[in-house]
Copies of this chain bind each other. A is one copy, B any other.
């Protein structure tokens, strides 16, 4: 009989929903070695925590995260709160021996992140950072194609993450919906929120980034703060562009902004290799573009691969060829891998240490932008 695994969720926002959904669905589609039980959800506002628990079938709810971490009944702690709370909770959970899945970015900054890595490694607890896009099937396929050597030597890695939701000066900072604009809660703007995703995927696919040169901008300098009720300076980066070298000699070009009118969540990447190239974007996440120079020249062109057949990563678990899955499914894949590895005593990538490498790049990017010069990335 399958062993029960008790889940405690801290945070009931957007990410709290994606993680809860993943735990519910995973057992219907994957053969997993555990029966995950949604035990408790923790959120600041009691009424809302209660409503969330009912909607998502958690057995109980609390408003103090310490109760989750200290609960002996809990096996796994899911950290889905603003970035400024990650470190404290994760370190406490590690010390309490919990398995931890933490939302990205790992921390507000490198010192916090290093402490967190130290904590989980000293405690020896399984740990995972939720860089969910790695497990979008088309993205996983891209990694597979690179690892098979289909691209040959890599020359260029190009990634953007473009949004447009903060163009209006009336968008406030702080609070449940807009904490991402509050430097105290978020640590940075698009760098930690969006570029962290791009960097994680890029280093996973193309190896370490060695040095960076960045430019940031804050287009709207002051916004109403929902907590103080006053107009206050905006501390985050609204936009960030950087170029870099990878350890393998290829060049990187990354850009993120929340001022790209017309793009809601347009995460894109393109990789140019000697023999082939790959491109992907989040707005049509079920497709991968692929160009293979070895094709006969008269029929050579970019291929649009509809990543829905059963021989595609994860896709044997879902429907039939031609029928696409969506955003939420990457979280299901993440949980499926995490639980399988847990049963086998194996780590799941990206763990805290791997996420620390991304944090090093993010911090180097912000430092470079501040100092207006190249910055070497710390080696993990």
Contact = CB atoms under 8 A, between A and B. Distances in A.
Contacts of A55: 27-28
Contacts of A263: 272, 277, 322
B292 A277 contact: no
A285 interface: yes
Contact of A165 (B156, B241, B321): B321
Oligomer: number of copies: 4
A343 interface: no
Nearest to A302: B304
Interface string A298-341: 11111111101101100000111111111111000000000000
B243 A241 contact: yes
Contact of A301 (B306, B320, B324): B306
Contacts of A285: 324
A260 B156 contact: yes
Interface stretch (A102-110, A250-258, A355-363): A250-258
Nearest to A290: B299
A147 to B, nearest CB: 12
Interface string A246-274: 00000101010101111111100000111
A328 to B, nearest CB: 7
A213 interface: yes
A202 interface: no
A204 interface: no
A34 interface: no
Contacts of A295: 303
A14 B158 contact: no
A179 interface: no
A261 B157 CA distance: 12
Q: How large is the interface on A (under 10, 10 to 19, 20 to 34, 35 or more residues)?
A: 35 or more
A342 interface: no
Contacts of A325: 326-328
Contact of A144 (B27, B265, B298): B298
A163 B306 CA distance: 13
A141 interface: yes
A372 interface: yes
Nearest to A215: B243
B299 A292 contact: yes
Contact of A303 (B241, B286, B300): B300
A290 B299 CA distance: 7
B243 A262 contact: no
A113 interface: no
A277 B261 contact: yes
15 contacts: A14-B320, A24-B25, A25-B25, A145-B298, A150-B299, A251-B257, A253-B255, A262-B276, A265-B322, A286-B324, A298-B305, A298-B312, A301-B305, A302-B304, A325-B327
Interface of A: 14, 17-18, 20-21, 24-25, 27-28, 55-57, 141, 144-145, 150-151, 155-156, 158, 162-165, 167, 213, 215, 217, 219, 239, 241, 243, 251, 253, 255, 257, 259-266, 272-277, 282-288, 290-293, 295, 297-306, 308-309, 311-312, 318-329, 372-374
Q: What 4 pairs across the A-B complex have the smallest Cβ distances?
A: A264-B322, A265-B322, A262-B291, A301-B305
